[in-house]
Structure 1
Amino acid sequence: MTDTSAIAAELRRLLPHAHAPYSGVRVAAAVEGADGRLHYGVNVENAAYPQGLCAEASAISAAVTQGTSRLARVYVASSLPGLVWPCGGCRQKIFEFASEGCEVVALSPDGEVGRQTIEQLLPLGFRLDPAQVRRA
């Protein structure tokens, strides 16, 4: 298991990089691949509201870009007090790449740590079998 306190420190360092001029809520995330590599992301808001990018999606994109296809763990920190968990859309994105039992770790600014599996956060998530997806 990766050092949670080191990841929390890195996420706090990355929070100012988030682009959150509309909500003012900065979020940073790290995803740990099954191979142990870490990939980071921050939220990037956009004036065309649905076109923004959550930190978790940003980190997943970075992981996929580097060839990671399975996630063992996801870490999330924000500028809000208390624990913040991934939104519904990000829960499904995590589920898509999650190894069974993938742990989602919420990190508060005051050091509190919450842990849930992705199956606990999204009990009815779904995956498509790529072999069954029709290609055009």
Structure 2
Amino acid sequence: MSLKDAALAVRENAHAPYSKFKVGAAIRSASGAVHAGCNVENAAYPEGTCAEAGAIAAMVAAGETELTEVYVVAGSPQPVPPCGGCRQKLAEFGKADVVVTMATVDGTEMHTTIGDLLPGAFGAAHMEEP
């Protein structure tokens, strides 16, 4: 299954009763497997989960820790970039040159990279003792 197809399919399962804004994300891991996630809202708004975070959680639950491609789709007039928290999550599991495709359900796509989404990302190297 393509990342686009996986993201579009999982988007339909989003739990978005408050915002009505469904998002689907699919990532390809280093093994080539596709992992998908959708946004899951909660009445206590800060407790919800973004689609990208759900896809990453599915990848890690499957025993993998490196992503090689990302696709995010939403029902919006223009492609929606990942939020700041998800940019950091993507940077945790993907290299700076990993392609991130942002899309609308109508098929408009924009392409960027994790490094362009989060320049100067905080990473494990910052936590090393001198």
Point out where structure 2 has 5 or more consecutive residues left out of the alignment. Answer: none
Percent of residue pairs identical: 43
Q: Does 1:109 align with 2:109?
A: no
Give the counterpart letter for 1:89 in structure 2. G
Alignment of 1:1-136 (within 5 A): 6-129=2-125, 132=128
Coordinate RMSD, CA, aligned: 1.9
Using the alignment, how far apart are the partners of 2:57 and 2:126 within structure 1? 19
Shift of 1:126: 1.3
TM-score by length of 2: 0.90
Shift of 1:129: 4.2
Give the counterpart letter for 2:87 in structure 1. R
Using the alignment, how far apart are the partners of 2:80 and 2:3 within structure 1? 16
SS at match of 1:101: coil
Give the counterpart letter for 1:60 in structure 2. I
SS at match of 1:120: helix
Point out where structure 1 has 5 or more consecutive residues left out of the alignment. Answer: none
